[in-house]
Chain A
Amino acid sequence: MRRRDMSEIHPVLVIGGGPAGLKASADLAELGYDVVLVEKLGQLGGAPIRWGYKTLAPELRPTEEVMGPLIEYVEGNGNVRVMKNSVVEGATGGLGDFTVTVRNLMNGATESLKASAIIVATGFEHFDAKVDPRYGYGRNPDVIGIHELEGMLKEGRVVKRNGDPPKRIAFIFCVGSRDKSTNLWCCTVCCGVSIKQAIELKHLLKDADIYMIYMDIRTFGLWEKLYWKSMEEYGINYIRGRVGEIYAIGDKLLVKGEDTLVRGPFEVLFDMVVLAVGMEPGSGTAQVARALNLKVNEFGFLEPRHPNIHHDSGRDGIYLAGACVAPMSVEEALAEGSAAAMQVAKALRRLQRAVVK
């Protein structure tokens, strides 16, 4: 009788190379497991890298501080095989002995791999604001989404289509969130993200007047600090209400809405409008749910066996982590990645202990 050693354990398959998937891969690699990380796109890092977040809420620390070391470790550590531009097309078997088909999206080639366990961390996609016509997104280039503003802030150049810096800017909260005609859920981070961006805009464009048009401010937990700071130190204005329509008038935008605190409609001209677009499970998560036959909830997010225990997919040997389960912040996605890695390590240790004939 002997223990199986590590070399007899198949690699762990991690699907999705965002904060959650990277953290899961890094932790497992550090514990000595081999990992295969399958990422749909040509780069690792998930949303924060793809959209070029300059800093992270709530403390406005550079995104690289968090994502840089993770990506470096995963790519440099010999234990992780990174397969970019690839998706998993199917898996048979179970814990300890999965057979997985991976397709390379660039050349169409497929490869069959063995895996001991699977972690799904396929994240979210931004709500496409074109779906909700009231904001004129897609028709007017000065109406942008928070994900696009992230990239502009990173470049240090925020200008209107005509090249002028915007003087008066409105953020509209809950676009594609908490709305029966689009998505019912709250994306949990976009209040904080919008406020973070408003502060960054104030650093960049000192004279800009910034108005946050909100239903509720949901800066949960310690993110509340951001909200207070934005009012007290940066003089950012908050208007409670919703926007019904946006028209282009010359090179300005007429924003029509109701301020529910004054019981009155407003029609005010802005230079730029930023939409706080919500989070959706997206096509990547739908693809993996089909390929692995995972349960999805009414909203399309992956449904764990128990709503309070995210990592348990309900299928033996398959674990969930990050924003593919529910909207969440980077810190939560990292913690879920670690949690899923821990579940895998536990399960594989049980296998290692098993008697080998």
Chain B
Amino acid sequence: MSQRKKKGEFIVERNYVDDQRIIEPEKLEIGGVDMSGRWGLLVLPRTIEDFDHSLHAMVKNHPRGRNIDRCWQCGNCTAACPVAEENPLFNPRYLIYIIKLGYKLEIEKFGNYVYFCGSCGRCSEVCPKDVDPSGVMEAIGTALRRKP
């Protein structure tokens, strides 16, 4: 078996596939035949299949997260955020969206970025709908830690 450098290295256009969706068994034997390596590789679809509102409910119950439902995704918060400017993977608007709609796959992928928030509160100053996104970041962080 060849030495693997990177998960799913055989995939053409590898950049388009997230690590979390690649299943690559160390050893795969089917009917006595060794199918390890590229034969056993499985790429899961990235289709959103369901909504999970459990985190959303926790955020709404948090004293600083209760206005999350006001958010209409204008992106003013992200535009004002000094952290997002440095690291585009941290995006307060987006975090609010995936929590609100309960997109499990996306939360798995991006949820932990919430801890990049510096709590400077600039987003909350510019939010036109009084969501207090800074508070919502805190509430999301708490909900993610507490989620069973």
Which A residues lie at the B interface, using CB under 8 A? Answer: 209, 217, 227-228, 231-232, 235, 237-240, 259, 261-262, 264-269
B101 within 8 A of A: yes
Contacts A231-B72, A232-B69 known; A268 to B46 CB distance under 8 Å?
A: no
Interface string of B103-147 (1 = CB under 8 A from A): 101100000000000000000000001000000000000000000
Write out the residue numbers on chain A whose beta carbons fall within 8 Å of the beta carbon of B69. 231-232, 235
B101 adjacent to A239 (CB under 8 Å): yes
Q: State whether B101 touches A237 (Cβ < 8 A).
A: yes
Q: Which residues of B contact A228 (CB under 8 A)?
A: 70, 129
Q: Does B49 belong to the interface (CB within 8 Å)?
A: yes
- B46 partner residues in chain A, CB cutoff 8 A: 264-265
Our pick among B49, B51, B97, B129 for the contact of A261 (Cβ within 8 Å) is B97
Given contacts A235-B69, A261-B73, 5 further A-B contacts (CB under 8 A): A231-B69, A231-B72, A237-B51, A264-B47, A268-B50
The answer to whether A262 and B70 touch (CB under 8 A), given A267-B47, A268-B48, A268-B49, is no
Cβ contact within 8 Å between A237 and B100: yes
Determine if A267 and B70 form an interchain contact, defined as CB atoms under 8 angstroms apart. no
Q: Is the interface of A mostly helix, strand, loop or mixed?
A: strand
B72–A209 contact, CB under 8 A? no
B contact residues around A268 at 8 Å (CB): 48-51
Is B73 a contact of A267 with CB atoms below 8 Å? Answer: no
- State whether A262 touches B48 (Cβ < 8 A): yes
Interface size classification for chain B: 20 to 34
A218 CB to nearest B CB, Å: 13
Verify B70–A232 contact, CB threshold 8 A.
yes
B53 CB to nearest chain A CB (Å): 8
Is B98's CB within 8 Å of the partner chain A? yes
**Which residue on B lies nearest to A254, using beta carbons?**
B49
Chain B residues packing against A (C-beta within 8 Å): 46-51, 53, 69-73, 94, 97-98, 100-101, 103, 105-106, 129
Per the bound structure, the CA–CA distance linking A268 and B53 in Å amounts to 14
**Lowest 6 A-B CB distances belong to which pairs?**
A266-B48, A265-B47, A267-B47, A232-B70, A231-B69, A235-B69
A235 and B68 alpha carbons, distance in the complex (Å):
10
A207 vs B100: C-alpha distance in the bound complex, in angstroms?
17
Most B Cβ at <10 Å: residue of A228, A235, A237, A262:
A262
Is B51 a contact of A262 with CB atoms below 8 Å? no
Q: How far apart are the CA atoms of A232 and B69 in the complex, in Å?
A: 6
B86 to chain A, nearest CB (A): 22
Residues of B close to A232: CB separation below 8 A? 69-70
Taking a contact as CB atoms under 8 Å apart, the answer to whether A267 and B97 are in contact is: no
The answer to whether A262 touches B103 (Cβ under 8 A) is yes
- B48: A residues at CB distance < 8 A: 259, 262, 264-268
A209 → B minimal CB distance (Å): 7
A264 to B54, CA, bound (A): 21
Taking the closest CB of chain A, its distance from the CB of B129, in whole angstroms, is 8
- Chain B hits for A235, CB < 8 A: 69
In this complex, which of B70, B71, B101, B129 has the most chain A Cβ atoms within 10 angstroms of its Cβ?
Answer: B101
Closest residue of chain A to B130, judged by CB?
A: A232
* B100 & A262 in contact (Cβ 8 Å cutoff): no
Complex Cα distance, B72 from A240, in Å, reads 10
- Whether the Cβ atoms of A262 and B47 lie closer than 8 Å is no
What is the minimal beta-carbon distance from A328 to any residue of chain B, in angstroms?
25
CA–CA, A266 to B102, complex, Å?
12
Chain B residues positioned under 8 Å from A267 (CB to CB): 47-49
Least CB separation from B60: chain A residue: A235
Q: How long is the Cα–Cα vector from A238 to B106 in the complex, in angstroms?
A: 17
Query: A131 to B80, alpha carbons, bound, how many Å?
Result: 45
Query: Contact between B98 and A262 (Cβ–Cβ < 8 Å)?
Result: yes
Q: B residues within 8 A CB of A266?
A: 47-49
A238 to B129 alpha-carbon distance, docked (Å): 16
Q: Considering the chains assembled together, what is the distance between the CA atoms of A237 and B52 in angstroms? A: 13
Question: What CA separation (Å) do A269 and B129 show in the bound complex?
Answer: 31
Chain B residue with Cβ nearest A231: B69
Rounded to whole angstroms, the CA-CA distance of A125 and B71 in the bound complex is: 35
Q: Mind listing 9 A-B residue pairs with CB under 8 Å?
A: A209-B53, A227-B72, A232-B69, A232-B70, A237-B51, A261-B97, A262-B97, A268-B49, A268-B51
Residues of B within 8 A of A231 (CB): 69-72
Q: Compute how far the CA of A202 lies from the CA of B48 in the bound complex, rounded to whole angstroms.
A: 25
Residues of B within 8 A of A238 (CB): 72-73
